[in-house]
Copies of this chain bind each other. A is one copy, B any other.
Amino acid sequence: MSEGLRERKKRETRQRISDIATGLFLERGFDNVTVAEVARVADVSVNTVFNYFKTKEDLLFDREGEMEDLPGKVVRERRPGESALAALRRDFLDAVDTRDYRYGFHEGSDRFARMIAASPSLNARLWTLNEAREEALARTLADEAGADAGDPTPALAAAQICAVLRRLSAYAVQRMIAGETVEAIAPHLRQHAELAFDQLESGIGAYCVRREAAPENA
């Protein structure tokens, strides 16, 4: 009752197009596959592809959009006595230790990473994803802290946190692209993460202080 033939077909077609597109993109590179080709392989018209997906990039990032609220969710579910930052640190380290997909550090992520790195438009897409994530986290922080409407604190905190998460992921991805195994990277990534969250926690005020000029004469 809940789903008629029409709706099922739509869901299936959309899925098929997205799957075929992802496969082709992974195999031959995003910029070396035309939408027309995706359509041909999926046995639909080009217009049908654009019926389901607004842009070529959406063929890939369709599902990834669900991870938009990941950090927000972690904060909302933090434990009693735990700060937002402590929760995010715990979650990130957990993801590293379990080789979980959610921060891009996963056994098979390197193919994906390579494909994205090779395409400027996919890179641009990643940034807007990060932007959305930052906004979502800012909203959550504002809620959870009971901040006033004009209070800039949550937005600023979210910006810092997301910047660091992005940087940590970028580090892992970079080494994966270079061909290193997840196992080889994990301990370093862990170390970087500890440092990063320490920085966020207690600040970088003392970093890189210029030496005073030596006094002219004793």
Q: Enumerate chain A interface residues (CB-CB to B < 8 A).
A: 75, 78-86, 123-124, 127-128, 131, 141, 144-145, 152-153, 155-157, 159-164, 166-167, 171, 192, 195-196, 199-213
Q: Known contacts A79-B210, A159-B167, A160-B160; is A85 also within 8 Å of B196 by CB?
A: no
- Given known A-B contacts A163-B163, A164-B160, A201 and B205 have beta carbons under 8 A apart: yes
Q: Are A160 and B84 in contact (CB under 8 A)?
A: no
The count of identical subunits is 2
Residues of B within 8 A of A83 (CB): 205-210
Given known contacts A159-B167, A164-B156, A203 and B200 CB-to-CB distance under 8 angstroms? yes
Which residues of the partner chain B approach A127 to less than 8 Å between Cβ atoms?
Answer: 124, 127-128, 131
Known contacts A80-B210, A160-B164; is-contact A204 B204 (Cβ 8 Å): no
Q: How far is the CA of A79 from the CA of B205 in the complex (A)?
A: 15
Bound state CA distance, A84 and B205, in angstroms? Answer: 8
A199 contacts across to B, CB distance below 8 A = 153, 156-157, 160, 203
